[in-house]
Structure 1
Amino acid sequence: MSFLLEFVRDPLTVGAITPSGAALARVATAAVPRTGSPVVVELGPGTGAFTEAIQRRLAGRGLHIAVEVNPRFAQHLGALHPGVDVVTADATDLAAVLARRGISQADVVVSGLPWAAFAEHRQRDVLRAVVAALPPHGVFTTFAYLHSRWLPPARRLLTSLRARFDEVVVSRTEWANVPPALVYYCRRPVTEAP
């Protein structure tokens, strides 16, 4: 499975020329509980860098649903991780994905989506779906590349996160990732946000 080829085919849904590294995956999935039986949703898993880290943290517990819009990535991911419920769907359809499984909310949503490639309305629609899927104790994590953090789409994302969550904590920079990136930990969703 060529990540670069998928980027060339559809750069607005793949968003990067290489998958995220192990160091970024560890930081982005740190909110996944190591106890209990949580429902964890992964948005935009791509080739599975975060998927592996989530599976290690869950250690056979809970439910891990991976929502991937790219059917080639979804098929590849499902073959690599048979214990993960891989769904070919758009992140905005998160409520329907959960409802088909008899679930109304997820404890944690981990995103590998290419936010900087999204138009304003697309960012808004995906964030609405995420907030609607989280209970008051829910956590949402996503990341941003350091080099694009000051570009308008990335600034818009951070502003939107702060409007939709009571707490947004920014991790230290993961210099080992190519390119360097940081993670946003978003807690206590605000359902009345625009």
Structure 2
Amino acid sequence: MMSSPRSQDYRTFLAAAFREPAAIGAVAPSSTTLARTLASVVPSTGQPVVVELGPGTGSVSAAIQRRLPAGARHIAIEANRNLAEHVRETQPAVEVVHGDAGDLIPLLAGQGLCRVDAVVSGLPWTLFPLPVQRRILDQIGIVLAPGAAFTTFAYLHARALAGARRFHHLVRDAFDEVIVGRTVWANVPPARVYVCRRAVRSG
């Protein structure tokens, strides 16, 4: 019997989590509901360029692909080599880059890009120290085109953790507009989505 794409994703996720538990930061791939909510800021007209940070097994990638019009570009940056290869194989329309989100600007430059129309993140922010959180957020703010949005999420159970509190304050300092949506209960664990616009320029 052939396994479903979802079960294949879950096996790939478990294998990655077993090898690098401190780097994955999740207990399961994002649900369809969470993925659809994260991807809601992706433009569905024109020829947008969308960057996805930490696609994992590709559940959010699939939601992004469903919104993108013909001629769009979808760049996914994944630090885990096995997960990057999995997304490359299962989502052939996605341009997968094996690299660190902390190198966002040079990685995009390598793809001939300096501005993007949306950034969708599945990164485990609570696991990152302050300098890493700040470095990634700063670069997201730089590459976002005027009017573009950045979405990410935080697990409800982790909101009391120091890393989560620190990220919450950082993201509010980094963007003029930060909307924290309703809890997505149809996810394991439940999560809340941040929608951020208009990066604050220092200096």
Q: Same fold (TM over 0.5)?
A: yes
Alignment correspondent of 1:188: 198
Contact kept? 2:178, 2:195, Cα under 8 Å:
yes
Number of equivalent positions: 193
Quote how far apart the aligned CAs of 1:70 are. Answer: 0.3
Contact kept? 1:46, 1:74, Cα under 8 Å:
yes
Quote how far apart the aligned CAs of 1:136 are. Answer: 2.8
Alignment correspondent of 1:141: 151
Once residues 128 and 166 of structure 1 are traced to their aligned partners in structure 2, the CA distance between those partners, rounded to angstroms, is: 13
Alignment correspondent of 1:161: 171
Unaligned runs of 5+ in 1: none
Identity, % of aligned pairs?
Answer: 51
After TM superposition, the structure 1 stretch with the greater mean CA deviation from structure 2, 110-119 or 124-133, is: 124-133
Once residues 61 and 112 of structure 1 are traced to their aligned partners in structure 2, the CA distance between those partners, rounded to angstroms, is: 24
Contact kept? 2:87, 2:96, Cα under 8 Å:
yes
What whole-Å deviation, never above 9, does each CA across 1:60-96 have from its counterpart, x for those lacking one? 3410000000000001100111111000000011111
Alignment correspondent of 2:123: 113
Alignment correspondent of 1:72: 82
After TM superposition, the structure 1 stretch with the greater mean CA deviation from structure 2, 119-128 or 179-188, is: 119-128
Once residues 38 and 12 of structure 1 are traced to their aligned partners in structure 2, the CA distance between those partners, rounded to angstroms, is: 33
Alignment correspondent of 2:162: 152
RMSD: 1.3
Letter of the structure 2 residue corresponding to residue 25 of structure 1: A
After TM superposition, the structure 1 stretch with the greater mean CA deviation from structure 2, 101-110 or 66-75, is: 101-110
Once residues 129 and 48 of structure 2 are traced to their aligned partners in structure 1, the CA distance between those partners, rounded to angstroms, is: 31
Once residues 87 and 176 of structure 1 are traced to their aligned partners in structure 2, the CA distance between those partners, rounded to angstroms, is: 29
Within 5 Å, which residues of 2 pair with 1:80-119?
A: 80-119=90-129
Once residues 60 and 116 of structure 1 are traced to their aligned partners in structure 2, the CA distance between those partners, rounded to angstroms, is: 35
Alignment correspondent of 1:50: 60
**Which of 13, 36, 44 is residue 46 of structure 2 equivalent to?**
36
Contact kept? 2:125, 2:164, Cα under 8 Å:
yes
**Which of 25, 31, 35 is residue 35 of structure 2 equivalent to?**
25
Contact kept? 2:12, 2:83, Cα under 8 Å:
no
What whole-Å deviation, never above 9, does each CA across 1:152-191 have from its counterpart, x for those lacking one? 1111111111111000001111101010001000001112
Quote how far apart the aligned CAs of 1:27 are. Answer: 0.6
Once residues 102 and 122 of structure 1 are traced to their aligned partners in structure 2, the CA distance between those partners, rounded to angstroms, is: 24
Q: TM-score, normalization: structure 1? A: 0.95
Q: TM-score, normalization: structure 2? A: 0.91
